Amino acid sequence: EAQVTQNPRYLITVTGKKLTVTCSQNMNHEYMSWYRQDPGLGLRQIYYSMNVEVTDKGDVPEGYKVSRKEKRNFPLILESPSPNQTSLYFCASSRRQDNSPLHFGNGTRLTVT
Amino acid sequence: SQKIEQNSEALNIQEGKTATLTCNYTNYSPAYLQWYRQDPGRGPVFLLLIRENEKEKRKERLKVTFDTTLKQSLFHITASQPADSATYLCAPPNSGGYQKVTFGTGTKLQVIP
């Protein structure tokens, strides 16, 4: 089954404790992206990747890092999480061409205390 | 700067009626626009794409229009059912290209039996 898998689904952590949210897709998509979703603000793009070893900033990249060492994986790293990073995070992938729809994972709900 | 606006936060409609959701964009002219459905706590799911040279697109009970003069897309669900209750997001690529898809905040649709 074609899917984007994120882990974990829920995560509660404390300020400053490094964490990684994993994302994996099995559709051989070149393009992958991370979004955060907050009430009233909608989905905002954090980082995206056009292919292996190619990443770029989205609209809200501060406080986040990503890497794309393999085509299928695109982990999101929070080196020193802060409470304002409490949010619902989504990973998405698509073919690398105009018009291609995004395939989303089921989300990771992160709480930073 | 580019702006996407979707009408009202919630739309309540009687089962069997047609639901119409609005997406307005300003300060740019996207070549296409996508519509997604999002259920609570889940990732968005792609529904339809309409290109700037297409006035209308249909898929089963769904219909999307794209008026580049008004800078508006309308999303219709005919013969609405309670199972159609969800949040609907419009998503045009921003002027930077498809890599940076921008999502509206969404319209929450509630279909009342």
Nearest to A101 among B46, B51, B105 (CB): B46
Encode pLDDT of B52-102 as tens digits.
Answer: 899 899 999 999 999 989 999 999 999 999 999 999 999 887 656 666 778
Q: Are the C-beta atoms of B35 and B89 separated by less than 8 Å? A: yes
What is the C-alpha to C-alpha distance for residues A33 and A48, in angstroms, rounded to an integer? 4
- Name the average pLDDT for chain B: 90
What is the C-alpha to C-alpha distance for residues A71 and B41, in angstroms, rounded to an integer? 26
Cβ partners under 8 Å of residue B29, min gap 6: B52, B68, B71
**CB-CB neighbors (< 8 A) of A98 in chain B:** 31-32, 93, 97-98
Q: pLDDT per position in chain A (113 positions), as tens? A: 889 999 999 999 999 999 999 999 999 999 999 999 998 888 999 999 999 999 999 999 999 999 999 999 999 999 999 999 999 999 999 987 777 899 999 999 999 99
- CB distance A102–B100 less than 8 Å? no
